[in-house]
Amino acid sequence: MNRLRKILSYQQATQWSLFLFSFFALFHFAVIIGIILFDYVPVDYLWGGRMQTKEELLVFEIISLTIMGICSFVVLVHAGKIKMPRLRGFATIVLWILVVLFVLNTAGNIVAKTTFEKFFTIVTAISAILCLRMAIEKPSQN
């Protein structure tokens, strides 16, 4: 863990995480807009190609957008950018949960049906590392 601290600062992990979560929030928002306004339903390219209907994809994209918002909120609370000291310890727990989820998501992307999803193996692995770096930092040290 000390090696990770030397390679990647807490501040860098926070900034990169916020960038990635914001980027993916915009991505999911764009997919939702595409579904609602343009009737564009890329079921073959998202969620490992496992969605069958427009409605299924819409629900999962709304969930994804919500999760990206929650992830950003957790990072901001943990970093002290949002002043909610009572939630900082809880934010650490959520970061550890995110590490596990991103590792599982990385494994899922590896076995995805589409090359598009497989590409995101790198992104989810990086997200796991960034969340790990933030989680090992005690909130009081930020």
Q: What is the mean pLDDT of residues 32-50?
A: 82
pLDDT at 142: 45
- Following DSSP, what letter does each residue of 94-126 receive, concatenated? HHHHHHHHHHHHHHHHHT-SSHHHHHHHHHHHH
Look at 37-41, 57-61, 63-67, 70-74 and tell me which has the smallest mean pLDDT.
37-41
Sign of CA dihedral 117, 97, 99, 26: positive
The amino acid present at 139, given as its one-letter code, is: P
Percent of the chain exceeding pLDDT 70 equals 95
pLDDT at 3: 85
- Under a CB-based contact definition with an 8 Å cutoff, are residues 121 and 109 in contact? yes
Question: By CB neighbour count within 10 A (0-12 exposed, 13-18 middle, 19+ buried), where does 85 fall?
Answer: exposed
Question: By CB neighbour count within 10 A (0-12 exposed, 13-18 middle, 19+ buried), where does 82 fall?
Answer: middle
Q: What is the mean pLDDT of residues 101-118?
A: 86
